[in-house]
Structure 1
C-alpha cells in the first residue's frame, strides 16, 4: 500500500510542526523549503489539516502555522484515515465482473484494517521522542 503524496506531505508537515519549540509558528514556505514540496500543493494540505483541527493557521504579519493540538493527541492512523482515500481496489460491479464471488476484497480489507491498527498505536510525538537525529534534520540550516 502506498500513501498519496497528499497524505505523505501532510504527515511530514505535522512532524515538522511538532518539532518546533512550544508556541512557535512557522510558514508554509518554511515547510515547503525543508521538504521540497511544491508550495501550492502544501497550501491545500495545510488548509485540510486546519479544517480537521490538526493545524492552526493564523493570517497576517505575525501569522503562521502551528499544531492545532498537542502532538501526543495526533494519532497517525486517524490522520491517514482523514487524508487518504483508502480504497485499495475498485470492486464495483461495473469495474470488475468477479466482484460477486471475489474473496480478494475481503483479504484486502483485513490487510487495510491491520495497517491502520498499527498506525493507531503511534502519535506524532512518538515519532519525535528520543529521535535527536530527526530533530537535527528538521533544524533550519
Structure 2
C-alpha cells in the first residue's frame, strides 16, 4: 500500500508543527519551504487538516497555523483515515465481472483495518518526542 502524496505531506506537516514549541505558530509558506512542496498543494492539505480539527488556522496579521490539539492525542490512524481514500479496489460490476464471487475485497479490507489499527497505536507525539535528529533536519529552534 502506498499513501497518496496528500496524506504523506499531511503527516509531514503535522510532524513539523508537533516539533515546534506548542505556543509557536508557523505558516503554510514555512511548511512548504521545509518540505519543498507546492504551496497550492499544501494549502489544500492544511485546509483539510483544519476541517478535521488536527490544525488550527488563524487568519490575520498575527495569524498562522498550529496543531489543533495536543500531539499526544493525534493518532496516526485517525489522520490517515481523514486524508486517505482507503478503497484499494473498484468492485462495481461495470469494472469487474467477478464481483459476486470475489473474496479479494474482504481480504484487502481486513488488511486496511490491520494497517489502521497499527497506526492507531502511535501518536504524533511518538514521532517527535526525544528525536534530536528530526529537530536538526527540520531546523527547529
User: Any runs of at least 4 consecutive aligned residues in structure 1 with deviations exceeding 4 A, and if so which?
Assistant: none
The two structures have a TM-score, normalised by structure 1, of 0.96
Distance 1:48 1:103 in 2: 33
Which structure 2 residue ranges, 5 or more long, are not aligned?
none
- Please give the per-residue CA displacement for 1:7-65, whole angstroms capped at 9, x wherever unaligned: 11110000000011121001100000000110011001101111111101111111110
Distance 1:31 1:46 in 2: 10
Per the alignment, residue 60 of structure 2 pairs with 60
Task: Please show how residues 10-49 of structure 1 align to structure 2 within 5 Å.
Answer: 10-49=10-49
Task: Please show how residues 1-141 of structure 1 align to structure 2 within 5 Å.
Answer: 1-139=1-139
Equivalenced residue count is 141
Which structure 1 residue ranges, 5 or more long, are not aligned?
none
Per-residue deviation, 1:105? 1.2
| Contact preservation (8 Å) 2:18, 2:124 | yes
Distance 1:86 1:106 in 2: 13
Distance 2:134 2:100 in 1: 47
- Please give the per-residue CA displacement for 1:66-123, whole angstroms capped at 9, x wherever unaligned: 0010000100000100111100010111110001111111111111111111000000
Distance 1:17 1:23 in 2: 10
For the residue of structure 2 that corresponds to 1:118, the secondary structure is: helix
Distance 1:18 1:65 in 2: 11
For the residue of structure 2 that corresponds to 1:32, the secondary structure is: helix
Distance 1:102 1:55 in 2: 40
Distance change (3 Å), C-alpha of 1:25 and 1:74: same
Over the residues paired in the alignment, what is the CA RMSD in angstroms? 1.2
